[in-house]
Amino acid sequence: MIDLDNTSFDRCIKCTVCTAYCPVARVTPLYPGPKYSGPDAERMRIKTPFLADSSLAYCNNCKRCETVCPSGVRITDFISLARSTRLKKHHRIRNFLLSHTDLAGFFTTRLAWPANFLLGLGPVKTVMGLFLNISAKIRFPAYASGRFSGELKAQTRIQKAFGEQVLYFYGCYVNYNFHDLGRDVVAVLNAMNIGVIAPAQKCCGVPLIAAGNLARARKNANANIQNLAAAVKETDQKIVFSSSSCILTVQQDYPELLDMDTSAIDGHIEFITRFLYKKFKAGNLPALKPLNLTAAYHSPCHLERTGGVMYTIEVLRRIPGLQLTLLHSECCGLAGTYGFKKEFDTIAEDIGQPLFRQIRATAPDVVITDCEACKWQIEAHTGLQVLHPISVLAMALAKS
Amino acid sequence: MRMNLNNSTDYDCLIIGGGLSGLACGITCLSEGLSCAILSSGMSALHFSSGSVDLLGYFPEATVVADPFDALPRFIDMHSEHPYARCGINTIKEALSFFRQEMAKADLPLHENHSRNHFHVTALGTLKPTFFSQQSVFNQEIRSVIDRTPAITIMNIQGFRDFHPGLAAANLKRHKLFSACDIQCAEMHLPEKEKNPSPVHAMRSIDIARLFDTMDPDEIARHITAACPDGDIVGLPAVLGIEHHNAVLDRLREKTGKIIYEVPTLPPSIPGMRLDNALKSRFAAMGGVFIQRETVEKGTIADGRVTSIRTKNQNDTLTAGFYVLSTGSFFSGGLVSRFDHIEEPVFNLSLARSPEARCLGSENFFARQGHAFLSAGVITDEAFHPKTPAGETVENLFCTGAVLSGYNPVNQGCGGGVAVATGYVTGRRIVRDFYAITNQRQGYPDLP
Amino acid sequence: MKHIETDILVIGGGATGTAVARDCALRGIPCVLVERTDLAAGTTGRNHGLLHSGARYAVKDFESAVECITENRILKKIARHCIEETGGLFVSLPEDDPAYHEALVQACRRADIPCREIDASTALAMEPNLNPAVTRAVTVPDATIDPFRLASANALDASERGAQILTHTRVTGFLLDQDAVAGVRCLDRCTRETFKIRAKVVINASGVWGQELCRMAGIELIMFPSKGAMVILDYRINNVVLNRCRKPADGDILVPGDTVSLIGTTSRRIAYEAISDLRVTDDEVRTLLKEGERLVPNLSRTRVLRAFCGVRPLVAASPGETHGRNITRGIVLIDHQQRDQVKNFITIAGGKLMTSRLMAEKAVNLACRKLGENRPCRTAAIPLPGSEKPISPGVRALPFSESVAQSTYYRHGQRADDILEDSDGGTGLICECEMVTSREVAYALKHLHVKDIVDLRRRTRIGMGPCQGLFCAYRSAGAFIEHRHTDGTDATKMLIDFLEERWKGIRPVLWGDTLREAEFSYWICQGIFGLGKTVASSPGRGEGVCLADEFE
C-alpha cells in the first residue's frame, strides 16, 4: 500500500532533467536513470507492490537528481524504499561490514596499525575482492588509533570554559579515521571563543540506508535523535556537523525517508560553514593570516542537495590570500560506500573522470571539499592534497 | 574575491530563480561590482528551450516578423502592458548586445542576421523566426545557398527515438523556400552505441551528445558521409555535443564538406543546456554564487520593502540590498495554480488576472492565440516593481522574465528576448540605485 | 463501386459489436464489422471500467443483478488479462442512511452475490486510504475490466478467425430490398472511398448512435442519452473498488484502473444532437472531486489527469420513460421484422459493458435463426487471445526490465510473449509513463486495427499517463512512418489530432501539476516543434492554420 506521506512522484512532469544529470546513467547503460527508477516505476509499484527492477541497485544515492528537479520530487526516497523492501539482498556480509561503521570502527581503532597494514596489502585486497566483492582498486582510508570522541571528551572542562559552546556531531570519518579534522574544528571554534562539546552519537546511518538496511538505520536514527535532543534540551545550543553526508542524512533522510520525528532537534542542526558564516557576519571573525594558496573548491553532491554550498563559499572567501576557483559541479563518483563495492567500482571511477580532468586543468595547490568520500576519491585520482574548508581555515588562523 | 560592498546584508543583490532572466540580471549586477547570489529551485526551463533567443517572432497574430526592430514600435504601441514597452527599444538593443558579449566570453558565440530575424528549422520541418542562434542552428549559410537547390538530407542517429526525419522532410517540402530542393531522409550509425544496446537505458539526446563530445570527429564524419554521400546539407537532431560542440561542428563540416546543422528536438535540449552552462559559468567566473537547490518559501514585505526572505531547504533567513523575483511561470513554480485560483507563492504579489479565474486554456490546443496561462503573471510598474495585494509598490523588489504578465512568449515569439531584456534592465537599475544609495560612485549614468 | 459480401454485418465496434463479430467468427459464420471511428471509441471507452458484482443493482433491479454475477464469472475466465480482481467495498459514512446498507446486504444474499459485513477497522485495513470516518462496510466481488482491452481482444480473435474488421468506416445509408435490409453503403474515412456491403442479416450494435442509424433505415428507435462524467487521477489512490453505500448519486464510485483511479459518475440527460460533442462541465468536475474526497480524503492532494464523459445508451423500454437513472439498464433485443416490419435487421442495445458478451450471444442467436443456422455459441467457453493462462506475478522477459515486462503482460496477457520477442521492433520505450515498448507499438500497428495515434492509444495505453502524450505522441508518429510507411504529412496530422484529443480531457482540469504539464507540452509542441504551423488537422477541427511561414 502506498505511503501517503510521500506522493511527490505525483508532481513529476517528465521533463527528464534528472536523468540528464544522473552521473550513473551517464556512464553505464545498465541504469535507466532516476526518472525511470523513481517516479515512473513508482506508479507501477503502487499497482504491483512486489515489483522492483534489479537496475535499482545502480543508484548511488548522490541525490543530484533531486537537486536538479524543478518539481521537487523526492526521487531517491522512492528508490531507497523500493531497494530496501523489494530487492533481493546480495553480498550480505560485505554490506554488513561496509555499513556497520561503528562496529568496524570499534575494532579497527584499537588495532589501527595492523588493520591499516592488512587493508593495504595486495593479497588481502585480492581476497576481499574474490570473496567479499570489495573492490581491490580502492584504498581504504587509514584508521586512527583510538577515537576522536575520547579525545574530545577529555577536553570537556577546557571546552566548557569558553564564552559559549556548540555541540559537535563529528561523524564516523573524524571519529575513526581522521582526528585532525576534528581538531581543526575545535581550533577554529576555540579561536572564536566557542567551546566544542561532543554529545553521545552513533553513525548517522547513511551507509545503512545505501545498503538497504532501513531498520538498522532507524535504530541509529532513534539513538541519535534521543541523544541530541537530550543534549540540546539542557543547553539550547547549536549542533554543528562537518560532514555533508551526515547532515543531509540527519536533516532530510531521518524525517522524510525513515519517518522519524526530528522536531526536537530540527532548529538546532547547522552545517559548520553555515554556523561560521553567521558568526562572521555578526562580527565574530577569528584573526586570520594570509594563506597564499591556490585552491579549487569541489562542492559535494550531498551539500548541493541541502543548498548549503553558499555558506562554504562565503567562509572560504573570507580567508585572505586564498585564490579560490569554484569547480563546475560534478559528482566525484565514490558516493560513500558505493565505490567500495566491486560491482560498482568501475562505474565510480568513470563517473569521476570529468571532475578529475577539471581539477588537473585548474592545477591548484590544494582541493577543498566538505565531504570525506570526495576527499578520498580526489586524492586517489589526482594525487593532490584535499582539505576540508575548516582545515583551510585552521591553517589561516593567526597565532595569538 | 568580492566581498559585499554593503556588509549588513548577505548579498547586494539576491535573485530568486536561476533561469535565463535571473542569470542575465545576475551577470549584469556582477559586471558592475555588486555581490550577487542566485537561488534556484532545480534546473530551469532552458532545458527544454531551443537554445536560441527569440526577440519578436509573430506580429500581428500568427504573422511572421522579418525585422523585429522595424516591428517593435508598432508592437509596443499596441501592447502597452508588454515588458518590451517598459524596457524601451534602446534598452532592448543594449541588453541583447551585452548578452551576446557575455556569452562570447563564455565560449558560446551567438549569431544574428544583421539585426533581422533568421529562421531555424524545427523537428517538424517548420521554420521558426528567432534572433540569436548558436552556430549549429544558425542557418544563414543555408539561406545563401538555397537558390542553388541543394540536396538536403535530414538524418537521424540509429536508435534515437526522439527525432524523425520523415516528419521534418514532409513539412519542409511544403515550404516555398525548399520546394525545389531534393529532400531525403537518412540514418547514421554510431557503433559505440550499437555495441551496447540497452533496453533498460534508451538513448536520449544527452547520451548522444556525450558521444559526440568524446568520439573522434573524423570517425563521426565518416559515418555521416557513409549515410548520405550525396547530400549538400545535412540536418541532424541537436546532439552535436555539449562541451565541444563548436569544435565538433567545425571539424564535421570540414571533413564531410557538407553544411551540417542541428535541429532542436524533444528534451533534454542540448542547445538549451549549452546556454545554461555558459550563463552559469560566466556568472561563477564573475564571482556570483549559484545555489542549484533552494526554494524561497516566503518573503517578508513591510512598508513597501522586502525585509528578508526565508529559504525552504536551509530553513534560513537571508537579506539583500535588492531582491529580484525571476521564478518563471507555472512549469518552474513561479506561479502556482490550484483548483480555484492562481497565486505567486513567494511574496503573494498581485497578479494581472483575477486569481479566481479558471479555464486558463483555449478551446483548441493549437489555437492561434495560444492560451491564457502563457500570459499569466504578476503586474508591475514601469520599473518592474511589483505590487502587494494591498496595492503597495515594493521598492526593493524587481520582477523579471516569465513570472511577468502581459506577454505570450510562445505565440508572440518573444520569450528569450523578454527574459534577457528584463533581466538586463533590472540589473542596471539595481546597480544605479545601489550606487545612489551607497554614494559610492557619483554621477552614475541614468537609465531610461 | 467495390462491394463486400457477407452473412452477418454488425454495425458498431464497441464491446457489444466486437463481441458479436467474435461470436460469429467462433461459430464459423462470415462476418464484417464496421465502426465509424475506432474500437471502443464510444461508450465502451468512456465508462468506469467496473466489472460489477451486481450488488449495485441488487436493490432495485434484481434481474440485472443476476445477469451481472453470471457474466462476471464468465468474463473472469475468458478475459482474465482484461480483468483485475481487486475486490470491492460498499462503504458507509456517517451521513449515509443505514437502511441502505441493510437493504444492500439482503439484496445481495437474495441474488447470491457473495458479500460480508465488516467493521470500520477491517475496512481501513483493506484500504488504508479510505476515509477514517467510515462507519462500516460490505465486501463484494467487484473487479475492474479494461474496456479497450476487451474490445481489442474480441476484434483480434474475430479477425484471426476470419471476420473482417473495418474501422474508420461510416455507414452512409442502407441498401433496402423492399421491406428488407440487404446491406449498407459505407465511406472509408481514411481513403474517402465509398463501397457497399451486402449481408444476409444486419445487426445494429452502435449503442447511442442507433437512433440516427435506424432513421436511415426508416425505423424509429428512441434513445435517452444520459451523460456520465468521470475524472481520472494520476495514480491509484485506492486498490479496491470503493462504492458509496447510499442511493445512487453522483461521484459514488472510485475505481482503480491499471495505473490510475477514476472517480465517477454523473448523470445528466442531454439532447440527442449533443451526443457527438460532449463536454465535462466545471460543475461536474467540482462535484466528482468533492464526492471522491469523501471516499478517499487524499484525493484533494492528488493530481487530476483529465476528465472525460460518455453517453449511456439508454433505450426506451416503454414510452414515457424520462429519468436517466431508473430506465432499465436491461438488455434490449429488437427484431425489427416483428417491431417495424423490416426484415433482416436486428438491434441489440441497452445493457452494460459487462453483459456485452451475453448481448452478443442473444443477438447472434437471433441472427442465426434468421439465417436458418443453429450453431451454438462458444464465446463463454473459449478464452480471448492472451487470456489462455494466468500471468505469473514475477514474469520476466529478458532483456526488458521487470516493470516493462510486467506492464506488457498486464496489457496483452499471453500475447506479450510474441510482442516482446520480436526484435524488429527495436528496444526503446515509446511511452515511458506507461512503459510501452516500441515492440508493443509495432505489434499494435501490425495486428490490432490501428489507423492513427488515437487508436494506438486505446490499444496500448500510450499517452494515458501523467505526460498525456507529450513524448509518446511524437515517437508514435515516427513509428507510423517506420512501420506503416505513413506519409510525413499524414503522420503530422495524426500527431496534431492526437494532441487535440488529449487536450479535450485536460482543459476541464487545468490546474496544479496538470497545468504545469500542459505548459511544458505547449512549449515543446508549439515552441520547439511549431506544430500549430504545419498543415491543418482534420476538417472541422477549428483552427485552420497556414503553411510554413514565408521568409525573404
In a domain, A113, yes or no: no
Report chain C residues whose CB lies below 8 A from the CB of B126: 529-531, 533-534, 548-549
Torsion of CA A388, A394, A395, A397, to 10 degrees: 150
pTM of the model: 0.94
Q: What is the mean pLDDT of residues C306-330?
A: 69
> What's the CA gap between B171 and C546, in Å, rounded?
12
A314 contacts in chain B (CB < 8 Å): 289
pLDDT exceeds 90 at position A68: yes
Q: Which pLDDT band, with edges at 50, 70 and 90, does C324 fall under?
A: very low
Q: Count of domains in chain A?
A: 2
Residue A352 domain-assigned (yes or no)? yes
pLDDT in tens, C102-135: 999 999 998 888 999 999 999 999 999 999 999 9
Written as nine digits, the cell of A239 is 549542533
Q: What residue type is C170 in one-letter code? A: R
Q: What's chain A's average pLDDT? A: 93
Cβ of A308 within 8 Å of Cβ of B311? The answer is no
- List the beta bridge partners of residue C416: none
In angstroms and rounded to an integer, the radius of gyration of the C-alpha atoms of chain C is 23
A46 is a domain residue: yes
- Per-residue cell: B365: 490546443
| Mean pLDDT within C452-480 | 94
The stretch C242-267 carries a mean pLDDT of 93
CA distance B295 to B297: 6
CB contact at 8 A, B422 and B83: yes
Give the residue from A27, A58, A86 where a domain finishes: A86
Contact A71 B42 (CB under 8 A): yes
CA distance C233 to C256: 9
Q: Are A365 and A293 in contact (CB under 8 A)?
A: yes
Instruction: Tell me which of A5, A6, A8, A10 to substitute to probe the interface with C (most C C-beta atoms closer than 10 Å).
Output: A10
Q: Which one, of B281, B288, B322, B27, lies nearest residue A313 by Cα?
A: B288
Q: Which of residues 18-37 of B touch A (CB under 8 A)?
A: 37
Residue A277 has pLDDT above 70, yes or no: yes
Alpha carbon distance C360, C333 (integer Å): 10
Q: How many CB atoms lie within 10 A of CB C343?
A: 17
Chain C residues lying within 8 Å of B267, measured CB to CB: 524
Q: Which residue has the higher pLDDT, A104 or C287?
A: C287
Does A396 contact chain C (CB < 8 Å)?
no
Task: Express as a percent the part of chain C with pLDDT over 70.
Answer: 94
Q: Write phi, then psi, for C259 (nearest 5 degrees).
A: -90, 0
A9–C236: do the CB atoms touch at under 8 Å?
A: no
Nearest CA in chain A to C235: A43
Q: How far is C374 from chain A (nearest CA, A)?
A: 45
Q: How confident is the model at residue A1 (pLDDT cuts 50, 70, 90)?
A: very low
pLDDT number for residue B238: 96
Which chain B residues are closer than 8 Å to C507 by Cβ?
359, 361, 363
In the chain, the amino acid numbered B168 is: A
Does any domain span residue A134?
A: no
Q: Residues C347-371, buried b or exposed e (16+ Cβ, 10 A)?
A: bbbbbbbbbbbbbbbbbbbbbbebb
Q: Do C403 and A51 touch (CB under 8 A)?
A: yes
Query: Rounded mean pLDDT of A296-302?
Result: 97
pLDDT in tens, C56-80: 878 777 777 888 888 988 999 999 9
Of all residues in chain A, what percent carry a pLDDT higher than 90? Answer: 76
Taking CB atoms and an 8 Å cut-off, how many pairs form between chains A and C?
Answer: 82
Residue C40 to residue C455: CA distance in whole angstroms: 9
CB atoms within 10 A of CB B74: 11
| Domains of chain C in sequence order | 3-43+148-222+328-371 (3.50.50.60), 79-144+225-315 (3.30.9.10), 402-533 (no CATH)
| Helix axis angle, B20-31 to B89-105, nearest 10° | 80
Measured between beta carbons, which residues in chain B are less than 8 angstroms from residue A328? 280-281, 284
Q: Which helix (H) or strand (E) holds C349?
A: strand C345-350
Three-state secondary structure string covering A68-115: HCCCCCCHHHHHHHHHHHHCCCCCHHHHHHHHCHHHHHHHHCCCHHHH
Return the beta strands (E) in A206-356 as ranges.
Answer: 239-241, 269-271, 293-297, 322-326
Residue B223, φ and ψ in degrees, nearest 5: -65, -35
Residue B437's pLDDT is: 84
Task: Evaluate whether residue A228 is within a structural domain.
Answer: no
Tell me the pLDDT band of A2, cut-offs 50, 70 and 90. low
Helices marked H in C172-251 — which ranges?
210-216
Query: Of A53, A86, A119, which one is at a domain's C-terminal end?
Result: A86
Put simply, whether B48 touches C (Cβ < 8 Å) is yes
Closest by CA to B59, choosing from B34, B84, B32, B33, is B84
Whether the per-residue pLDDT at C319 is higher than 50: the answer is no
What's the mean pLDDT in A206-230? 94
Among the partner-chain residues B47, B202, B315, the one whose CB lies closest to the CB of A15 is B47
| Residue recorded with cell 432513421 | C215
- The model's confidence at residue A4, banded by pLDDT at 50, 70 and 90, is low
Q: Examine residue A93 and state whether it is found in any structural domain, yes or no.
A: no
| pLDDT reading at A95 higher than 80 | yes
Owning domain of residue A376: 285-396
Q: Which residues contact C224 (CB under 8 A, 6 or more apart)?
A: C269, C314, C315, C316, C321, C322, C324, C327
Residues B231, B259: Cα–Cα separation, whole Å: 9
Q: Which residue of B has its CA nearest to A18?
A: B43
Q: Which chains touch A (3 or more CB pairs under 8 A)?
A: B, C
Size of interface A-B (CB pairs under 8 A): 101
Mean pLDDT along residues A365-389: 96
- Answer yes or no: is A82 within a domain: yes
Beta bridge partners of C285: none
Domain-located, residue A236: no
pLDDT of residue C263: 96
- CA C329 – CA C15 distance, rounded (Å): 16
Residue C222 pLDDT: 87
Would you write out chain B's pLDDT as a tens digit for each of its 448 residues? 344 545 689 999 999 999 999 999 999 999 999 999 999 999 999 999 999 999 999 998 889 999 999 999 999 999 999 999 999 999 999 999 999 999 999 999 999 999 999 988 999 999 999 999 999 998 777 777 777 878 999 999 998 999 999 999 999 988 888 888 899 999 998 876 666 667 777 889 999 999 999 999 999 999 999 999 988 999 999 999 999 999 999 999 999 999 999 999 999 999 999 999 999 999 999 999 999 999 999 999 999 999 999 999 999 999 999 999 999 999 999 999 998 889 999 999 999 977 666 668 999 999 988 999 999 999 999 999 999 989 999 999 999 999 999 999 999 999 999 999 999 999 999 999 999 887 765 444 444 3
- How far apart CA A141 and CA A174 sit, in angstroms, is 11
C contact test, residue of A4, A55, A78 with most C CBs within 10 A? A4
Would you state the pLDDT for residue B200? 76
Quick check: A226 pLDDT over 80?
yes
pLDDT at B4: 55
Distance from CA of A9 to the nearest CA of C (A): 10
DSSP-assigned states of every residue in C151-166 = HHHHHHHHHHTT-EEE
Give the integer Cα–Cα distance in Å for B171 and B169: 6
Query: Closest approach of chain C CAs to the CA of B413, in angstroms?
Result: 8
Task: Please report the residues numbered 76 through 135 in chain A whose beta carbons come closer than 8 angstroms to any beta carbon of chain C.
Answer: none
User: Are A30 and B41 within 8 A, CB to CB?
Assistant: no
Residues of A with CB below 8 A from C129's CB?
1-2, 4
- Alpha-carbon distance values, C315 to A47, C226, C325 (Å): 37, 10, 12
- Mutation to test the C interface, candidates A6, A9, A14, A87, most C Cβ within 10 Å: A14
Which residue segments constitute the domains of chain B, with CATH numbers given?
Answer: 11-106+274-438 (3.50.50.60), 123-263 (3.40.50)
Report pLDDT for C549. 44
Cβ burial, residue C164 (10 Å; 0-12/13-18/19+): middle
Cα–Cα distances in Å, from C442 out to B197, C386, C423, C453, C504? 19, 17, 10, 12, 27
User: Within the 20-49 window of chain A, which residues sit less than 8 Å (CB to CB) from chain C?
Assistant: 32, 35-36, 40-41, 43-48
Picking from B206, B210, B289, the nearest residue to A313 by CB comes out as B289
Task: Kindly identify which residue of chain B lies nearest to residue A20, measuring between CA atoms.
Answer: B206
Q: Which residues pair with C33 in a beta bridge?
A: C10, C165
Q: Which three cell numbers stand for residue C162?
A: 476470419
For residue A36, the domain's CATH number is 1.10.1060.10
Report whether A305 contacts A67 (CB < 8 A): yes
CA A328 – CA A203 distance, rounded (Å): 30
Q: What share of chain C is helix, strand, coil (3-state, %, to 5)?
A: 40, 20, 35
> ipTM score of the complex?
0.95
CA C159 – CA C76 distance, rounded (Å): 22
DSSP for C248-273, written as a single string: S-TT-EEEEETTEEEEE---EE--GG
Q: Taking the CB of residue A357, how many other CB atoms lie within 10 A of it?
A: 12
Do B127 and C532 lie within an 8 Å CB cutoff? no
Indicate which CATH number applies to the domain containing A296. 3.40.50
Which of C56, C108, C144, C48 minimizes the C-alpha distance to C329? Answer: C56
Residue C318 has pLDDT above 70, yes or no: no
Domain end among A69, A86, A103: A86
Contact criterion met (CB < 8 Å) for B126 and C533? yes
Chains that touch C (3 or more CB pairs under 8 A): A, B
What is the three-state SS of chain B? CCCCCCCCCCEEEEEECCCHHHHHHHHHHHHCCCCEEEECECCCHHHHCCCCECCCCECCCCCECCCHHHHHHHHHHHCCCCHHHHHCHHHHHHHHHHHHHHHHHCCCCEECECCECEEEECCCCCEEEECEEEHHHCCHHHHHHHHHCCEEEEEEECCCCCCCHHHHHHHHHCCCCCCCCEEEEEEECCHHHHHCCCCCCCCCHHHHHHHHHHCCHHHHHHHHHHHCCCCCEEEEECCCCCCCHHHHHHHHHHHHCCEEEEECCCCCCHHHHHHHHHHHHHHHHCCCEEECECCEEEEEEECCEEEEEEECCCCCEECEEEEEECCCCCCCCCCEECCCCEECCCCCCCECCCCCCCCCCCCCCCCCCCCHHHHCCECECCCCCEECCCCCECCCEEECHHHECCCCCCCCCCHHHHHHHHHHHHHHHHHHHHHHHHCCCCCCCCCC
Question: Which residue's C-alpha cell is 545535412?
Answer: B234
Whether B167 and C547 lie within 8 Å, measured CB to CB: no
At residue A3, the 3 state secondary structure works out as coil
